[in-house]
Amino acid sequence: MIKNWGDHSGRCLVEQEGISVIECERCRFKHIIPLPEEAEKREFYEQTFYSEYSEDYIAKHARDADWWLIEHNEKYDKYEALLGHQAPYRLLDIGSGPGYFLKAGNDRGWLTRGIEPGEAAWRYSTSHLGLDVAHDYFTAANFSTFGTFDVVHMNNVLEHIVDVTATIEQIGHITREGGLIAITVPNDFNPLQTIAAETTGKGPWWVVPEQHINYFNLQSLQSLLRRSGFEPVYHTTSFPLEMFLLMGDDYIGDNTLGRAFHQRRKRFEMVLDRHGKNELKRAVYDAFSALGIGRQVTVLGRKNA
Ligand SMILES: [Zn+2]
């Protein structure tokens, strides 16, 4: 069934309590309708998301620091390979959270800045880690004040943003020619998820309209970047956690099981790392991403001249 809201129109994929997820023909990615007002969205984040989730998120992040460092270093390795030898490189992280990604960059000689609206995460990254992080949102009013960068990074941010196209265009203005945009988002409505939604009887559990407005996959993310002046030059994914669901272990809504499977994924990746097989892991995940599989999708786009 086709649904529309203003100029946004497309096939309706999910309907929950008056909110629909559509395959929007105008935006060319999936998003909810009606779209919330920016102010309404911020009120939600300030009153619930940042205060309730942030402390726990920081603690979890600190516990998994060794594992995160592998991923962070892989990202910087990739950027350096694509940028060539022009160090020191400059990076902006929009939604920098507790700051470990910025710290990994600083430790390799990168010049980094962050923007983080969440009070607890911002405080941790500045006071505890001593990083250069603005306590703010990235907006039409302030985007040009941060400087220009070789890489602009956004991890799990784009799915929360109301005006995605404007944000990517603003990033285009502060990325130097030949520089990179680096985006990671949940890989939603992926083949393993949609099978698991049926086999577990839980339906599309990844649709969380209060938090996630937009639902991307490799193709829609690549297309978004192309339309905003970036040529996609690399894609990859993270471990396809939904494989556990298809093996019969239903961790959805079960935090204890969820943590157990997160530990298994971590052990799998860390044992490969200890045995010098990170390249093998990367090759497997890169191949998964081309097949549309994997929990999150990452695309790097190079800014056109
Ligand atoms: Zn739309």
Domain assignments of the chain as residue spans, ordered by start: 1-35, 37-189+199-234+298-303
In angstroms, what CA-CA distances link 48 with 19, 52, 54, 62, 159?
20, 6, 10, 22, 17
CA 210 to ligand 1 centroid distance, Å: 17
* Residue 24 burial (CB count, 10 A): 23
Distance CA 280, CA 238 (A): 14
Question: Bridge partners of 293?
Answer: none
Distance (Å, rounded) from C-alpha 50 to C-alpha 54? 5
pLDDT of residue 38: 72
Ligand 1 center to 123 CA (angstroms): 35
Residue 193 CA, ligand 1 centroid: distance in Å: 23
Long-range residue pairs from 101-104, CB within 8 A, at least 24 positions apart, any chain: 101/68, 101/72, 101/75, 101/153, 101/155, 102/129, 102/131, 102/132, 102/133, 103/129, 103/131, 104/69, 104/72, 104/73, 104/76
27 CA → ligand 1 middle, Å: 4
Is the preceding peptide bond at 34 cis, omega within 30 degrees of 0? yes
Burial of 281 (C-beta count, 10 Å sphere; 0-12/13-18/19+): middle
How far apart are the CA of 173 and the centre of ligand 1, in A? 23
Q: Alpha helix locations (H) across 175-248?
A: 191-199, 218-227, 242-246
Q: How far is the CA of 9 from the centre of ligand 1 (A)?
A: 7
Q: How far is the CA of 31 from the centre of ligand 1 (A)?
A: 7
Written as six digits, the tokens of 69 are 């460092």
212 Cα–ligand 1 center, Å: 14
Report CA(4)–ligand 1 centroid distance (Å): 9
Q: What spacing in Å lies between the alpha carbon of 103 and ligand 1's midpoint?
A: 36
Q: Which two tokens stand for residue 75?
A: 């990202």
Is 46 a residue whose pLDDT tops 70?
Answer: no
Instruction: Work out the number of other CB atoms within 10 angstroms of the CB of residue 30.
Output: 23
Q: What is the pLDDT of residues 126-157, one digit of tens each?
A: 999 999 999 999 999 999 999 999 999 999 99
Residues 6+ apart with CB under 8 A from 127: none
pLDDT band at 50 (very low <50, low <70, confident <90, very high): low
**CA–CA gap between residue 162 and residue 180 (Å, rounded):** 22
At residue 36, what are phi and psi to the nearest 5 degrees? -75, 160
- Asked if residues 172 and 229 have their Cβ atoms less than 8 Å apart, the reply is yes
Tens-place pLDDT, residues 74-112: 999 999 999 987 779 999 999 999 999 999 999 999 999
Condensed to tens digits (0 to 9), the pLDDT of residues 228-272 reads: 999 999 999 999 999 999 999 999 989 899 999 999 999 999 999
Ligand 1 centre distance from Cα of residue 11 (Å): 11
Determine the distance separating the centroid of ligand 1 and the alpha carbon of 167, expressed in angstroms: 14
CA of 102 to the centre of ligand 1 (A): 32
pLDDT value at position 274? 96
Q: Is the pLDDT of residue 52 over 60?
A: no
- Tell which wins on pLDDT, 305 or 224: 224
- Tokens read off for 163: 């005006």
Instruction: State in Å: Cα 162 to ligand 1 middle.
Output: 10
CA 66 to ligand 1 center in whole angstroms:
39
CA 235–ligand 1 middle distance (angstroms): 24
**Tokens representing 154?**
């956004």
What is the per-residue pLDDT for 86? 75
H or E stretch covering 272: helix 255-274
Alpha helices in 64-124 (DSSP H): 65-83, 100-107, 119-123
For domain 37-189+199-234+298-303, give the CATH superfamily.
Vaccinia Virus protein VP39 (3.40.50.150)
Q: Side chain identity at 155, as an amino acid letter?
A: N
Q: Would you say residue 56 has pLDDT above 90?
A: no
pLDDT at 53 over 90: no
Q: Which residue has the higher pLDDT, 50 or 120?
A: 120
Q: What's the 301 CA to ligand 1 centre distance in angstroms?
A: 22
Q: Dihedral angle at the C-alpha atoms of 170, 172, 176, 178, nearest 10 degrees?
A: 170
pTM, to two decimals: 0.94
Q: Which pLDDT score is estimated for 15? A: 95
